[in-house]
Amino acid sequence: MKRAFLLFTLVALFFGCQHAPKQGDEVFFKGKDSYERDVLIKNEPQRIVSFSQAVTEAIYLLHAEKKLVGISTFCTYPPETEKITKVGDLLNINVESVLAQRPDLIIVGSVVSPKTVDNFEKAGVPVYCLKEEDRLADMPRLIRSTGRLLNRDAAADSLAKVYEGKIRQYQSRATSGDKSVYYVVGFGASGDFTASGNTFIHDIITLAGGRNIGEPLTTWSVSREFLFQQDPEYIFIRKEDLESFCNTAPYNLLTAVKEGRIYPIESGWIDNLCPRNFLAIDYIAEKIGTTAP
């Protein structure tokens, strides 16, 4: 009887060990990032460094900011980011400062150099590259990708669906866009720059009911001749650049400047693809007199 019981116990232990999952077999994430790089994240990240303004904002929206231990100097929203350690800008990243935060995941955008990414990976830290999206309709994808890295899939999907609904709402009310709009990306001795038709800034202007004069352009650069030929009815510019633009020749000869139809706008609403783009749509629509959704 004792021998039979012992045999049963040994068999049970053998099969139990055979079916028990081996520690380390399962990984938190295994797949490709936005640049088709193979990325392996063994455990759920608890200490994240973000070099993407959009990702940093998404992390706060998904209530996972406790995981943030480092951000770039360009990540300034929401205001609570002031409390997070700054580890360099996008072009001058202090690798030692980043590694000093003991991150278990680093998230970067397309501006960060491949060499810097290699240095992080050589140090044993996984790096996930999330490219900056070109169109407003791509924003929900960024939210979902961020949620996957945070183990916030359900919350990210719900938030993404809200934004998809808002985009459809704006699309349904968008007018034919007979009011010409110019957004000043850059101006002065180095040249004039605005958003072409294949950018999310173009989408913002269009969904606000305006006609982006930069639509036919193929690059961000715009000639002075083209600008004055178009002579836009409305001009929007970063609030910190408004006074300089209005007091600089020949921009002060544009009709919109002379007649006071140039408006300051928060750069964080329009210069980066993020949920605050909806604030830019509403603001532009208000100023050019189109119907709000």
Tens of pLDDT, residues 41-69:
999 999 999 999 999 999 999 999 999 99
Quick check: 126 pLDDT over 80? yes
* Percentage, residues of the chain above pLDDT 70: 90
Radius of gyration of the chain (CA): 25
Do both 76 and 147 map to the same domain? yes
Distance CA 120, CA 105 (A): 10
Distance CA 37, CA 233 (A): 45
Do both 113 and 137 map to the same domain? yes
pTM value is: 0.86
In terms of residue numbers, what domain contains 228? 175-288
Confidence category of residue 5, pLDDT binned at 50, 70, 90? very low
Residue 252 within any structural domain of the chain: yes
Q: What is the CATH number of the domain that holds 254?
A: 3.40.50.1980
Do both 256 and 207 map to the same domain? yes
Do both 140 and 34 map to the same domain? yes
Domain finish residue from 117, 137, 160: 160
Distance CA 236, CA 281 (A): 12
264, containing H or E segment: strand 262-265
- Closest to 131 in 3D by CA, of 150, 120, 117: 117
